[in-house]
Chain A
Amino acid sequence: MDRIAFEGLGKRYHDQWALRGVNARFVEGEVVMVIGPNGSGKTTLIKCLLGLVKATEGAIQVNGALVGNDPLYRAAIGYMPQYAEFPRELTVDQLLRMMNDIRDARSGSTDDRLIKLLGVDALLDKRIITLSGGMRQKVSAVLAFRYRPDILVLDEPTAGLDPVSATKLLDAVVQAKRNGATVLITSHIMEEVQRLGDRVAYLQDGRLRFALPPETITEVTGEPSLALALPKYLAQLPPAHVESL
């Protein structure tokens, strides 16, 4: 069964299409790296999936069910935004308890490994206002992974993290994938994209140009790395080429 299915998805802001005719299916245990130039529609695609923006046309299915007005489908999703902001006067522990309450998580049902792995256990008594941007990102990562979601949506997850924490986070992504999660990651770091991605979904001008394994792109172009292969591969594509996925 498809975890996520986009069917003719389109989003228009005023008279400008931010996303148009996106058809794609992502299955369980798959890491999809969503890449593309600025303004290509990556954020809009993710926001459509998260229910933050309403699609102008098309449909989205999550775990086989059409996404509508019922917010309960989002219980299957963990989201880590690019910039994390939380109520400034709460402690990290209070924030975690708040999310537990919202998610109706029972004691022991959560995955707390990242709390120790990223050193968030040392921050539990600290108020959010005293945390650095990187520390907030770690808390944000914990919240995304904590409820063992079927789908993880990570927006530039390693931006603002120190190298060691970034590596630990990416290891957690691999672990989540092994446990069957479908992971959508936006990233501009090609090493990350090549290392993690089972498929690379490339968006341009609001259209999904392709969603292929990174190895396919490197093999077709004969380049050793995705960073070198991608521009070559794009140059080979006809301007209006849109893969049917």
Chain B
Amino acid sequence: MWKVYKYTLLDLARNRFALGYALLLLLVSVGLFMLESDNTKALISLTQVVLALVPLLALIFTIIYFYNQYEFTVLLAVQPLRRQSITRAQFLAIGTALLVSFLFGVGFPVVAYAPSPIGWTLLLTGAALTLVFCALGMFIAVGQRDRAKAVGIGLATWVFMVLVYDSLLLWLMFSFSDRPIEPVIVPLAALNPIDLSRILVMLKVDLAALLGYTGAVYQKFFGGAGGMLVSFVALLLWMLLPAWGAVRTFARKDL
């Protein structure tokens, strides 16, 4: 697995999109810190950008890279290698490249301008989201033969998680506001990795009111270390399950 990982990473190190992604994040991060005199406010703005941009670009980049490499992946599958090791290596290499881009583009500015618990939490959740959406991208790409269809599913997944899911939760909460809905809402919020990440940052910022009703409910239930732990375990599952699904699907797939 590490042989494929090493050379895939070498290929990604020169990839223009990965470099452009890092520069875009750097530009946005530095821009926000320079425009906003209060670093905490800049961090909150940066959180919104990271929560929207990082999942989208990680998802789409992973899908497109997988399709660009498809013929070579088939050639690798003809070598004396287990298919599982090929998919794992590719996932780890794409994840590493995107993580490095994220840490370069967001990590350096955060360390320079706002090395605070909020900043560390943002970096941690951003890194987790990178891997989660990389895993989701792999899962989508491996399952679809058609590139355009896979990109479409990726975009729909992103729109659903960024916009639709929160709206559905709000609708649910308002519709059942006369009943004790919180025990249902909390696990439902954990089903969306972007909501989870938002909540993790929110718990550090203590600005629940600005971050939606879902976040407020979550803060009420998981304001302490237990909440953080549950959130990180949920994010870990969000990363591991699609990655496992991608590895399993690719191993059984007719190429």
Contact = CB atoms under 8 A, between A and B. Distances in A.
Nearest to B13: A89
B72 A103 contact: no
B74 A52 contact: yes
Interface stretch (B77-85, B173-181, B191-199): B77-85
Nearest to A140: B75
A102 B80 CA distance: 8
Interface in B1-55: 3-4, 6-8, 10-15
A24 to B, nearest CB: 20
B69 interface: yes
A71 B255 contact: no
Interface string A67-92: 00001111101010101111111100
A79 B80 CA distance: 12
Contacts of B69: 85, 87
Given A53-B254, A101-B3, A72 B72 contact: no
Nearest to A83: B71
B7 A81 contact: no
B68 interface: yes
B16 to A, nearest CB: 9
B222 to A, nearest CB: 43
Contacts of B15: 89
A99 interface: yes
Interface residues of A, number: 32
Chain B residues touching A, range: 20 to 34
A84 B74 contact: no
Contacts of A13: 254
B76 interface: yes
| B interface SS class | helix
Contact of A53 (B8, B13, B255): B255
A237 interface: no
Nearest to B82: A71
A3 interface: no
A48 B158 CA distance: 37
A7 B170 CA distance: 61
A77 B254 CA distance: 19
A47 interface: yes
B255 A88 contact: no
Nearest to A86: B72
A50 B75 CA distance: 10
B88 to A, nearest CB: 14
A13 B8 CA distance: 32
A103 B3 CA distance: 10
Nearest to A48: B254
Contact of B3 (A83, A89, A98): A98
Contacts of B6: 101
A126 interface: no
A133 interface: no
A79 B78 contact: yes
A52 B10 contact: no
A50 B78 contact: yes
Contacts of B78: 50-52, 74, 77, 79
Given A52-B78, A52-B254, A88-B11, A81 B3 contact: no
A51 B81 CA distance: 11
B159 to A, nearest CB: 30
A87 B11 CA distance: 6
A89 B11 contact: yes
A90 B11 contact: yes
Nearest to B69: A87
Given A87-B7, A90-B11, A94-B7, A102 B79 contact: yes
B241 to A, nearest CB: 24
Given A47-B254, A75-B80, A84-B71, 16 more contacts: A52-B254, A54-B254, A71-B82, A74-B78, A74-B80, A81-B71, A81-B74, A81-B75, A85-B71, A87-B8, A87-B10, A89-B10, A89-B12, A90-B7, A94-B7, A102-B76
8 contacts: A53-B254, A71-B82, A84-B75, A85-B75, A89-B11, A89-B12, A89-B13, A143-B75
Interface of A: 13, 47, 50-54, 71-75, 77, 79, 81, 83-90, 94-95, 98-99, 101-103, 127, 143
Q: Sorted from nearest, which 6 A-B pairs have the closest CB atoms?
A: A85-B71, A87-B11, A89-B14, A53-B254, A75-B80, A98-B7
Interface of B: 3-4, 6-8, 10-15, 68-72, 74-83, 252, 254-255
